[in-house]
Chain A
Amino acid sequence: MDLEYGPEYDVFRKQVRAFIEAHSHLAPPSSDRAARPSSKAVEWQKLLIEHGYTARTIPQAYGGYGAEPDILQSRIIAEEFARARVPGGLSNQGISMFVPTLLELGTEEQKRRWIEPTLKGDVVWCQGYSEPGAGSDLANLKTSAHIENDEFVVNGQKIWTSTAKQADMIFCLVRTEPHAPKHGGISYLIFSMDTPGIEVRPLKTMTGHAEFNEVFFTDVRVPMHQIVGQRGQGWFVANATLGHERGMLGDPDALENRLQALIALMQEERLGQGRAIDNPVLRDRLVALQAEVAAMKYNGMRILSNSLRGEPGGMAKLIVKLQSCELAHQISALAIDAMGELGILYHHSPREREGGAWQWNYMFQLGLIIGGGTAQIQKNIIAERGLEMPREPKLAKISDAAKATADMPRHKQGSA
């Protein structure tokens, strides 16, 4: 057990700290989560790239900083920005999911064309994966793209598309080979959200906000070269990015920050003659969550060490999405309970705390438990990949019958 990063890393950490101290006044507020980044956020992003604090390992030719990958340096950067509560650059699906995909599987031309403007916030992306009939069973997606005059013609519907309204571009899974087996008939297309035939409808959620959208495609024409990977390989391409998304949802620094905010809340919030934290039952729950956050923090360090040694993350990594999302939700739940009746205030009510942020989190985090692979899908993965338990036998008859009914109208349309 050696938790020292070593002297060269201590020097690096000091540099990061010094940078944050000197420049944090230029940072946009953490609450600035607008999909279309503000000019302040864009300037901050550019400054961070210039100093290598974001897009660190992305080659300079594509607008990154071009450092050699170094897990500890990346970790130190994340730790220090989290500690200082200064945004560590833009975080959106274009940067976290599309750019890594292109780096891995894009053509040279695609990398040069898209990565830099994406990193710099000039091009905003949205993700077209889920469909009304393809959630957990994503490979069941039906949005089709047939070829006509050397163009893909896309028809269908996507759902859970965050930032679709603001996005310039979409990376989108479509079925290009209707007769191939379900995983083999999918392609990964990229196209402009200004293309005629796209309609975006906001999807209002239980939070009262429209964090997501539905996107409808009617004869949307996409040039044939706007594909990542080969035709029919989209499932493979998409899986490269799903890994990135799951990693993103399990950030131990984020949990630690939420916990610290909860501790502060419980120390400030008055309850009778004392504070919320003076209530022994609430305090007991707080300490229990603190222990769980600690466990996830050290679990994260173990995963980090495994990757430094070149070992697979194993079970420690498989459980991160399930546990972190649940824990984040529990932290918000306790915050609301600690506020008691005040905990139900929302929609800018008088006496509302922190702009309703806890209530929003409490609800939105339930969305995160469901999204990006539901808790139940995560459990299947943990059981089947981690514990090597027997797979669910295919209920062939039932699912075939269900398909025959469900597919009939669309199938006709697609083959016409």
Chain B
Amino acid sequence: MDFGLSQDQRMLRDAVARCLADTCPLDQVRECAERDNPLSDNVLRAVQDLGIPGMLVPEEHGGLGMTLLDAAIVAEQLAYAVAPVPFLASHVLTPIALSEAGSEEQKAHWLPKIASGEARIGVAISETIEVRDGAGVSSAAGKLNGTALFALDFEGADAFIVADSGGRLHLVGAKASGLKAIALTTIDRTRSVGELRFDGAEAEPLADDGGATVARLRAAGRVILAADSLGAGQAMIEKAVDYAGQREQFGRLIGSFQAVKHMCAEMAARHEPCRSLVWYAAHAFDAVPTEASLVACHAKSHTGEVHRFVARTSTEVHGGMGFTDLIGLHYWFKRIEFDRQVLGGPETVRAEAAALQGWIKAA
């Protein structure tokens, strides 16, 4: 019995943390955020040198064959450093989708390139969770029509994996004719999303599995977003505590005032159990398939709630400075908000959790 990270996982965490501390200081984040394409080539190269793109690619396809818990550890560190690099779709969801539902040919073509960092694939499955602005993609005779919103890891993607309205996944080249790709600009400049408009674009379907793989992607995606939220929340709590230990008012460190101290304690008290929940959710994805979807919902919705509180409270502890661009606290604030909404906000995800338990009568 050992609930927690293995020695290897602790080493992975520390290696990623060190790498990002060197390559991704806040100045780098800030510089990237001002550009049209906010992703950082420097940080991406460093992440590739660590083998991160191949983490979830099976070994026979040139990857490391690691687990979602390993990926969650990386996600936490990426968020801690607000690293402007693709990860969720390109390095987590795509390897899972191709490994679980790709043809041998698709696997052989894409997985080695993903592992080496040569190719990146974005993922668009939002409409399987919630339809906004009438979006949705239909497929017929190998062609896609309609709109997919919030394609993840949009910028620089060579192809996209897209769910149709029946929950089946399709692989479509980024430059396919009949695909118009439009970048969407979010509050979070450290990750990229876009809109895919299909007008008879040619696509290769993945396995027809009755939506099983897309459900796996939702679960994995939610765990990784929860882990991201955890890392960003951790950073915001540490920053609040540091600030409160330096800033003086009324001749005292503000951290010695109970009003401030209790804000920090409340953040820590709500944040700390999230860590165990995220770890378990990741582990369940790898090892307890019967619980994976439900506990992924719990991790996603709960971290979404807790870290919205943390994001706001940490900002308040920083007083006026927290509200400025000067100290850059808002990068974490925005990262947390992105994590909360993407792949379903807390209410949406809780409704899904209720349905998974048979608590919602079929309409």
Contact = CB atoms under 8 A, between A and B. Distances in A.
Contacts of B255: 383, 389-390
Interface stretch (B125-133, B271-279, B308-316): B271-279
B245 to A, nearest CB: 6
Nearest to B254: A390
A391 B302 CA distance: 31
B212 interface: no
Q: Identify the 5 closest CB pairs spanning chains A and B, nearest first.
A: A298-B276, A379-B265, A291-B298, A295-B273, A382-B265
B4 interface: yes
A274 B257 CA distance: 50
A387 B265 CA distance: 8
B347 interface: yes
Interface stretch (B49-57, B161-169, B202-210, B349-357): B349-357
Contacts of B249: none
B3 A288 contact: no
A3 B256 contact: no
A57 B277 CA distance: 31
B361 interface: yes
A298 B1 contact: no
Contact of B4 (A5, A305, A319): A305
A389 B283 contact: no
Contact of B272 (A5, A288, A315): A315
Interface of B: 1-6, 69, 237, 241, 244-245, 252-253, 255-258, 261-262, 264-266, 268-270, 272-277, 279-280, 283, 287, 295, 297-299, 301-302, 305, 346-347, 350-351, 353-354, 359-361
Interface in A29-69: none
Contact of B276 (A278, A287, A301): A301
Contacts of B5: 1
A316 interface: yes
Counting chain A CB atoms within 10 Å of each CB, which of B268, B297, B305, B351 scores highest?
Answer: B268
Contacts of B245: 389-390
Given A295-B274, A386-B268, A305 B351 contact: no
A319 B244 contact: no
A308 interface: yes
A4 interface: yes
B2 A305 contact: yes
Secondary structure at chain B's binding surface: helix, strand, loop or mixed?
Answer: helix
A306 interface: yes
B238 to A, nearest CB: 9
A233 interface: no
Contacts of A3: 1, 3, 283
Interface in A250-298: 274, 277-278, 280, 283-284, 286-288, 290-292, 294-296, 298
B302 A387 contact: no
Contacts of B262: 376, 379-380, 383
* Count class of interface residues, chain A: 35 or more
A280 B272 contact: no
B268 A382 contact: yes
A323 B270 contact: yes
Contacts of A308: 1-2
A393 to B, nearest CB: 6
A6 interface: yes
Contacts of A384: 261
A298 B280 contact: yes
Contacts of B261: 379-380, 383-384, 389, 392
A284 B347 contact: yes
B147 to A, nearest CB: 28
B274 to A, nearest CB: 6
A392 B256 contact: yes
28 contacts: A1-B283, A2-B2, A3-B1, A5-B1, A6-B1, A278-B360, A278-B361, A283-B360, A284-B351, A287-B351, A288-B302, A288-B305, A291-B299, A291-B301, A294-B295, A298-B3, A298-B279, A298-B280, A301-B280, A302-B3, A302-B275, A305-B1, A319-B269, A378-B269, A380-B261, A384-B261, A389-B241, A391-B256
